[in-house]
Each structure stands twice: as structure tokens, then as C-alpha cells.
Structure 1
Amino acid sequence: MSKPLLDRFLSRAVRQGRLGIVFADGSASTYGTAAEGFPEIVLRFTDSAVPRDIILDPRLGAAEAFIDGRLLIVEGDVMGLVSLLRMNDRWERGDNNLRPSALKRLVNRASFAAEQINNRVGSKKNVAHHYDIGNDLYALMLDPEHWQYSCAYWGEGVTTLGEAQGAKLQHIAKKLHLSPGQEVLDIGCGWGGMAIHLAQRHNVHVTGITLSEEQATLARSRVREAGVADRVTILLEDYRDTAASGRKFDRIVSVGMFEHVGRAQFETFFEATARMLAEDGVMLLHTIGRFGSPGTTDAFTRKYIFPGGYIPALSETVAASEKFRLIASDVETLRLHYAHTIRAWYANCMEHREKIIALYDEKFFRMWTFYLAGAATVFEHGSMGNYQIQYVRSRRALPITRDYLLKG
């Protein structure tokens, strides 16, 4: 019964481009029509349960079959496979072919709601799940200069990942409108790239906080090597505890951390940042964002990648922040920058395939590349983008025009 259901599903899901499948019983089917710019992919299923798993939850079912070696890509690669499906399921067009079954959606919503209670212990555990898997993996994937695991900025003439990440750091620094000697808080500081950049280029003092022990250890080492240990402090600390300490900061920056806060803690986050931000302070929040209305996190991402995480709609973010008299002084939507960034990471992972397998195993490599393929294509065709939201407490904290962003 699962095979006819999958046949109907794929007949709707693949209209342009071609997808060939060789089933476990030796039969074969082809879906779609060859079209310029669309991939052509051939799969082989090794057992008869794969169609059922995909029908129940297309993303999780296909992912787990691929990870376990039950779904084999005979022609093409996982980026091509996910691209083919996403290109036929564009958010702008209102397509909705890749949803789980009704029963799976109910189960997903219930489990998603339970996972959003990110207290201090839960937050640290969730961060460790992704960021404490070892710095060696990220050394192979990220740009070696900045160690930025977030959306880069691909301006005109920018061609390399390192250039794009450096451009992102400078773009954010302009929005912070810094002056020498200011105190800056970097929430979710990662491996210290932002903190080092701000200290070196703008002569400010930066306190970086993270919940990842692996990140904190390497960040401190990188700070020392960069010669800015007198201006950068890296703490293994929850933002709620930083706020409870009573410290005030002239500037607050948070890049790629808000996605891990969890919807239930949005107001807690903004209450804490409003309390820490000086009266004439500026905050820059850089986060993945959901186009359209609020939603839920898919089961694959929750299980394998970011437990407890949630991508916010712009409406949710602003609604939470406005309760604490934070003025959204500037909002920029980065629509395709993250797709370019993640494709660069994917290329690095493919280049270092054997090294990553030696660090972990084949299953991990398949899981990781499926994650990157899904992430890149959701920024190209799905409902995700990036928001940079600049906040102030005083309407006079910044120049009244945006010309200052064009300087330097």
C-alpha cells in the first residue's frame, strides 16, 4: 500500500526536473520532466519500508533512510536531491508538498511544545548537543580566519567564505555604531570571532558568553593568539545570569543565538537584554527568521540538529521585544546570503569527507550533509531568511539617518 501512496505523493511533489527510483523489489519509476536548471537524481531503496517512512514524514523519513543507508543516491548527491524537492515546493508560490501526515503533525506539535521549556540546565544540554561535538569538525567546515558559524554577508565583489564572513562582522559593527572604550556584550559568542574583530578594529572591551565548553576553550585560546586578551573576556555563562549580575553594557550583539532561546523564553531574553543595555545603548540581533506566520520546528531538526531550538517569525520577535520598551530602529532582511554561506560549508565538508568520517563515521557524515542540504535549500526556496534587528532604548542613541552605515 505504501508504494502507490508514494507514487501519488511524488507525482505531485516532482513536476520539473527528474527523480528516478529503483524500489527494493526491483521495479522502477520516474517522476517529473527534464527542465533546465533542475537536477536529475536517481535513488535506490534497499527495503520495502522506505516508502512508508517517507509518506509519514517526508523530511524525517527520507533523512533517516538516507542516514541508515536504506536510501541510496545512485546518481547525483544529497544537495541535488533536496534541491530538486525544494525547487518544486517554493514558499513564495504557496506550495506545500513536503508536509508530514496529519497524525505526524499532531505528534510533532505536541513534542515541539514540550521541548521549548529552555531553562538553564536544558539550554546548556541543548547547546552541547550541537556545539560540543568537537571543534575539529568545525575547523574543516568553517572559514579558518573568523570561525563564524552563522550567515555571512555576500556583498558585491565578495567571492570567498572568509571574505563574506569578514564583511558580515564589519556590517554588524557599523550597525553597533561603536566608540573606543565602550563595553560590549556578545551573547552566544561562539569561537570568539566577533569579539576579536570588535576589539581589534574598534578598540572596545568585549565580554563574550557561551554555554558551549568546547567553544569557550577555543575562543579563549584564539583571543590570546590575537593579542586582545586585555580587551576580551570569554565566560561560560547563561545570559540570564549575566543580567542577574546587574552589569550594564554600551552595546549588545547576538549573532545566531536567538534561534536557540526557544519561543517560551522570547520575553525573558528581551527583558534581560533591556535590563543590561545602557540608556543610550545599541543592540544588534542577528537571527535566522521565518517568513510569514509563526510555525514549529520540523522533527528532523529537533531530533538531530537543534533540540529546543525554534526559528522565529519577525512578528514574534518584535512582539516580544516591544514589551520592554526596546525600539526596533532598523530591520534588514538577508534573503539569500545564508544559502550561499551554507553551500560553501557543504563544499568544505565534501572536500574533507574522509577526514570527517574518520572523526565520526559514515552515518554521521550522511546526517550532517543532509542537514546542510536541507538548510541551504530552505533559504533558497523555503520559508527561511535572516533578520538583523537593531534596537535602542533611546530614540536619540543613533544619528537620525542611516548615512553612518555607509561610512568606512
Structure 2
Amino acid sequence: MFAILNRVLKLIVKTGSLTLIDVDGGRHQYGDGTGTPVTARITDRSVYWKLVVNSNFHLGEAYMDGGFVMEDGSIYDFLELCLSNMERHPAPEWINIPGALRYVTRRLQQFNPKGRSKRNVAHHYDLDGGLYDLFLDRDRQYSCAYFEAPDMSLDAAQLAKKRHLAAKLALKPGQRVLDIGSGWGGLGLYLAKTADVEVVGVTLSEEQYKLSNERAREAGLSDRVDFRLADYRSLKENFDRIVSVGMFEHVGVGHYRTFFNTARRLLADDGVAVVHSIGRSDGPGTTNPWIAKYIFPGGYIPALSEVVPVIERTGLYVTDVEILRLHYAETLRNWRRRFLDNRERAREIYDERFCRMWEFYLAASETAFRYQGMNNFQIQFARNQHALPITRDYMWHEEDRLRSLDSERNRPKSVPAE
């Protein structure tokens, strides 16, 4: 079986320098010898056929279990070398057969009624909170940051993301805003503080619900921010604005019509909404099987072509679309490096296998955004086409205003001389 794996790697890896050490100690070279050398060792013979049959699933599992070990370079270096080559030299078609079979059953995999949605959310977001403090920014923004400049810090880029979304919402004081998938509360608190609006945030995560309400109390915003442990589908109120960041990936393709019908029902007649989601640029597909099992059960990254037609059929108007291409790659690079810097602390919270799983998750996600066509989209939509100005200038003006406000708020306070 190693002969087949060897042949596949020779077809894929044309540039770079990859060495693979087999179970018997044999060294096999791939690429043209350029770049930084990357060396991996296979310690279990069963890994040969697993990688040949379904590398999308078994590579991550083999790395977690010690069947695939890095000797020179990291798992990120290995993935980057292989996937950057695959951009130019696609793998044989038969390698994609498992993905094609998964596509047939994707609606079943993404069937997310209320009870199952809550279990899926708990699998990932109810992990020990200390884990997220190891790699996220201070505000615990667990979604794509917005890098206005290449040298921005992660904290600054996450603040810029909140500012960017606030500008697109065209907020007015006193409005009611619904945040679907409110996370640890950072965006809702920012909107309430910055735009003088009332915010209702809903999450299915017990841990996020508790922490976000603690943060609201500490910030003195409990009278304007109401975080609830609830499914958005159960709400009966009306809102002037709706925002959803990093939650749409958990909806599932069979529930898109429900999501946008619900958004239309909850929106005021002149209401505006913005959905921020990961997207795939190569059309409809399936969730990576390793990600589906270990990281985000029930999740699916949509193509824009799957989402916009549903919005149109619900009678909503798409008023703006923006594609953020490499912003999430840069976000994930920051997360991955922070996690590796704090790896020992992560192992104290969980164990070594978990650390390898989390490292693989961050590395595989980053390379997917750099080399496999993943991106982020922000779709703004409204119940009527008169709800917003007819040019995008209002976004830029509001973003400039908020940037000045944020800069003033974050400026160190001067200490009076004694």
C-alpha cells in the first residue's frame, strides 16, 4: 500500500522539499529540493492505506494518535507544502470519491433541529473556557478578524471587525438589535456601548451565556444588553437590526430557508440585517469529515451560490455583499501561533492528544483559507429596498467616525502630575 501513497505524493509534490520516513525507516524524497525541508514519519503501517483511501479524515486522526509524526517542521509546514502544490498540481480524481459520497448524504449530516443544534454547539463552545483564553484576543472574538493594515495586532483587527459590522448595520440610537449566535458577548457589548442601542443576544452555549451576562454586568450594560440561552427560531419579537457572525456555518444547508424566513419575520419593516460567514469559492460541497467528527459536528461552510437564492426566495432584498479573502488566514495564523506559545498550558487543561487535535484544526483551517479557496462573506439584506442610502458612502463615514471613537476610548489616560 505504501507504493500507492508514494505514487500519489510524487504526483502532487513537485516543488519544495518533503521527506517521508516509512515504518521500516526508509526515506522517500518529494519535490525539487527547494525551500525549507519538511520531514514526517509514519509509525503505523495501517496509516498507509488510510491516507490513500481517505486522507481528508485519516491524516488528522493519525496525527492525533501518533501514527503520523513531524520530525522537521510542523504539521502546518506539511499541510502548506502539500496544499500549495495541489493548487498547481491537483490530486488524482479518485482521491475525491469519499467527498462525493458524503455530498449525497450532506443534508442528513447537517440536519440540525433545536435539540441537536444545542448538542453540536456544546461539543465545541462548552469546552473549558481557559482554552479559549490561550489563543483568542482579549474580547474572545472567535470569528474572522478584519485586517485594515498588514501589521495590525489581533486585538486591533478584531476591533476593526466589530467596527466594520457596526457601520454596515447603519445603527440609530434607541434601536433594538438581535445578535444571533452572540458568543461571549463582545459584539453585542460593543454595539450597545458605541451606538446606544439595545441588544438581545442568543446563544446555545451554556458557557457563553454565563460569561456574556457576567461581562454585561461588569460593564454596567445589563439594562441595554440581554443575553439569552435560546434558539433564534423560538423568538417572537421584532428588531430594527439583526446581525449574525460565525453562526451561519452551524445552520446546515437544509435549514437556510428557515433561517432567512425567521430573519424576515423578526425584522421591522425598515429593518436591516448582516450575516458574516465563512464561505467556499468553488461552489457547494461537503464538510471535511475530520472537522465534522472532532471539531464542528453538524457544521457546513456554504457557497455564496447556495445562500443568495434562498434570500431572494424569502422576499428579502440583498443590499450589499463583501468577500473577505485572506483575512481569516491571517486570523488563524495569529490563533495558531498563540496556541503553540501556550501549548503546555493547554495540555494541563486537557491532554497531549487534545493539543495535537487542536493544533491540526488550526493548521488545517489556515491552509484551507490560503490554498483551498475558503473565504468569508458578509451579506447585508433588508425587508425593503428603501431602508438604506443608495450609495455605500454611509458605511465609510460611519467606520471613520467609529475608528476615531475607538482610538479615543483606547488612548492611555494621562496621569496628573503631583
TM-score by length of structure 1 reads 0.95
| Post-superposition offset of 1:97 | 2.0
Query: Which stretches of structure 1, 4 residues or longer, exceed 4 Å deviation after superposition?
Result: none
The residue aligned with 1:19 is: 18
CA distance in 2, matches of 1:333, 1:23: 42
Quick one: structure 1 residues 102 and 324, their matched pair in 2 at CA, closer, same or farther if it must change by over 3 Å? closer
- Are positions 1:73 and 2:70 aligned together? yes
| SS of equivalent to 1:339 | helix
The residue aligned with 1:363 is: 353
1:169-203 Cα deviation digits (max 9, x unpaired)? 00000000001110000000000000010011111
The residue aligned with 2:137 is: 143
The residue aligned with 1:275 is: 265
Gaps spanning 5+ residues in structure 2: where? 402-418
- Are positions 1:124 and 2:114 aligned together? no
The residue aligned with 1:207 is: 200
Identity %: 45
The residue aligned with 2:406 is: none
CA distance in 2, matches of 1:22, 1:393: 59
| Contact 2:284-2:303 at 8 Å conserved across structures | yes
CA distance in 2, matches of 1:98, 1:371: 24
CA distance in 1, matches of 2:288, 2:307: 19
Amino acid at match of 2:27: A
The residue aligned with 2:378 is: 388
Amino acid at match of 1:293: G
Counterparts of residues 192-231 of structure 1 (less than 5 Å): 192-231=185-224
- Are positions 1:346 and 2:336 aligned together? yes
CA distance in 1, matches of 2:233, 2:47: 44
1:279-309 Cα deviation digits (max 9, x unpaired)? 1111000000010311111111111111111
| Post-superposition offset of 1:34 | 2.8
| Contact 2:99-2:286 at 8 Å conserved across structures | no
The residue aligned with 2:164 is: 171
| Post-superposition offset of 1:40 | 2.5
Gaps spanning 5+ residues in structure 1: where? none
1:315-355 Cα deviation digits (max 9, x unpaired)? 11101111111111110000000000001000110010000
| Post-superposition offset of 1:239 | 0.9
Quick one: structure 1 residues 365 and 388, their matched pair in 2 at CA, closer, same or farther if it must change by over 3 Å? same
Quick one: structure 1 residues 111 and 128, their matched pair in 2 at CA, closer, same or farther if it must change by over 3 Å? farther
| Contact 1:55-1:61 at 8 Å conserved across structures | no
Instruction: Return 276-285 or 109-118, whichever deviates more.
Output: 109-118
Quick one: structure 1 residues 100 and 240, their matched pair in 2 at CA, closer, same or farther if it must change by over 3 Å? farther
| Contact 1:155-1:164 at 8 Å conserved across structures | yes
- Are positions 1:159 and 2:152 aligned together? yes
TM-score by length of structure 2 reads 0.92
1:100-158 Cα deviation digits (max 9, x unpaired)? 746533553355332211100111111111111121111111001x2100000000265
- Are positions 1:310 and 2:300 aligned together? yes
The residue aligned with 2:405 is: none
| Post-superposition offset of 1:48 | 1.3
| Post-superposition offset of 1:378 | 0.8
CA distance in 1, matches of 2:369, 2:95: 23
Amino acid at match of 1:26: G
CA distance in 2, matches of 1:112, 1:316: 14
Counterparts of residues 253-292 of structure 1 (less than 5 Å): 253-292=243-282
Quick one: structure 1 residues 134 and 150, their matched pair in 2 at CA, closer, same or farther if it must change by over 3 Å? same
Alignment: residue pair count:
398
| Contact 1:58-1:100 at 8 Å conserved across structures | no
- CA-based RMSD of the aligned residues comes to 1.4
Instruction: Return 157-166 or 325-334, whichever deviates more.
Output: 157-166
- Are positions 1:60 and 2:57 aligned together? yes
- Are positions 1:44 and 2:41 aligned together? yes
Amino acid at match of 2:250: H
| Contact 2:107-2:252 at 8 Å conserved across structures | no
Quick one: structure 1 residues 84 and 102, their matched pair in 2 at CA, closer, same or farther if it must change by over 3 Å? closer
| SS of equivalent to 1:57 | helix
CA distance in 2, matches of 1:295, 1:105: 8
Instruction: Return 341-350 or 131-140, whichever deviates more.
Output: 131-140
